Structure 1
Amino acid sequence: MTKNILCFGDSNTWGLNPITGKRFDENTRWTSLLAKNLGCDFTVIEAGQPNRTLVHNPPFDGVLSGVSYLKPYLERYDIDFIIIALGTNDLKKRFNLTPILIADGLNDLISSIHTYYQQSSTLQAPKIIISSPPEVRVTEQYSRIYKDADIKAKDLSDEFKRVTANNKCTYIDFNTFINMTGGDGIHFDNNQHLVISLKMAHLVKDFFTDC
């Protein structure tokens, strides 16, 4: 039986090209590459959305927080695995959030997933992978929007790791294989998308092999 994997994230999951500002094609963005790497036994649902947050909705952009928009995916699909890749947008200056408060938003999102499946007598809860966003590099392009985000990002991985462990989810730290030294300091380039897809495919395959 085909297993469904929901990739729920922000513009880096959507595949925003830091050079053009447009979307990488299906041969470049990590979610599409993940589907190709996993093969026909898996269906990858690409649910990336630029500006998506864990805590507050961005001004003027409507309802984009993770908690608000995850439920329709859970209702529509029989999900075996959820990959959550959020947190970078919450580092924006206008939200004025600490790493702990951002991690609390992640905890709320995970709790909402658990609650949704606990209320169902027929659905089995999916396994959850939490990815810690990589440490950002504040460039001139984003100097006002992400002021001091590089400082906060250093503690964000530890907070995400704590929340992941408390909720018995699987954790993957992008900082162990992604370095934001080039580009705009926020969005992944094509090579980083490739690396992420390979790491995610390896993690998913290992999990289902162990099961």
Structure 2
Amino acid sequence: MIKNILCFGDSNTWGLNPQTGKRFDESIRWSALLATKLGSAFKVIEAGQPNRTLVNHPPFNGLVSGVSYLKPYLEKYSLDVIIITLGTNDLKKRFNLAPVQIAQGLDDLIGDIKYFYGVSNHPKIIVLAPAYVECVGAYKHVYEGSEHKNHLMSEHFKRVALNKGALFFDLQSVVSVSLIDGVHICSKEHSKVADVVFKIMSKDIVLA
């Protein structure tokens, strides 16, 4: 029986190329690479959306660009694993959010996933804290001040994941954003993300 893996994230899951502003193809996007690594017994559902947030569109309510768009995936697919890669867009200066507030959005999202399925019958959840934003390039002023929030946000994400029984990995330990725009990851970093997720699943989730 094919296992369904949902990759739910923002533009770095969607695969935005920092050099061109367009989308990387399937040979580069980390979620597509993960599908290749996992093989035919798995279906990887790529659900990246530029500008997606954790806080400003409450779970299951609001615009397509917010976390509300998760619910249709839960309804459509019988999911075995949900990989959450969000938080970067919440660091934008205009939102003026503290790291603990962003982490509360993650807590709420995981809570709503569990409520949807029933607390004891939900898919495995993997939380990937995003690569740290650098205040350079095209988005320098958009993310002004985020360099003081990056580390704390990841620490709070780790706490939330542990409290909610989710697996956690901080992408900052292996991935760096492009200095072209300070937000998006280049092709070689996508490969690193795919490797990380595959190793997590191989170690902590039954792949057979």
The normalised TM-score by structure 1 is: 0.92
Check if 1:142 corresponds to 2:139.
yes
User: After superposition, what is the alpha-carbon deviation per residue over 1:76-127, rounded to whole angstroms, capped at 9, x for unaligned?
Assistant: 00000000000000000111100000000000000000000018xxx94100
- Counterpart AA for 2:123: P
Check if 1:203 corresponds to 2:204.
no
Separation of aligned partners in 1, 2:17 and 2:137: 17
Give the Å deviation of 1:140. Answer: 3.3
Partners of 1:32 and 1:44 within 8 A in 2 = yes
The residue correspondences of 1:57-68 to structure 2 (distance < 5 A) are 57=57, 62-66=63-67, 68=68
How many residues were matched structurally? 204
Give the Å deviation of 1:181. Answer: 5.9
Partners of 1:93 and 1:145 within 8 A in 2 = yes
Check if 1:183 corresponds to 2:196.
no
Which range is displaced more, 146-155 or 95-104? 146-155
Gaps of 5+ in 2: none
Give the Å deviation of 1:8. Answer: 0.2
- Counterpart AA for 2:90: D
Give the Å deviation of 1:198. Answer: 1.1
Gaps of 5+ in 1: none
The residue correspondences of 1:26-105 to structure 2 (distance < 5 A) are 26-57=26-57, 62-66=63-67, 68-105=68-105
Give the Å deviation of 1:150. Answer: 1.4
Q: Aligned residue for 1:109?
A: 109
User: After superposition, what is the alpha-carbon deviation per residue over 1:175-197, rounded to whole angstroms, capped at 9, x for unaligned?
Assistant: 11112363321101000001111
Which range is displaced more, 126-135 or 171-180? 171-180
User: After superposition, what is the alpha-carbon deviation per residue over 1:147-205, rounded to whole angstroms, capped at 9, x for unaligned?
Assistant: 11111112111010010011010001101111236332110100000111111112112
Partners of 1:131 and 1:174 within 8 A in 2 = yes
The residue correspondences of 1:142-181 to structure 2 (distance < 5 A) are 142-180=139-177
Identity %: 49
Separation of aligned partners in 2, 1:160 and 1:179: 18
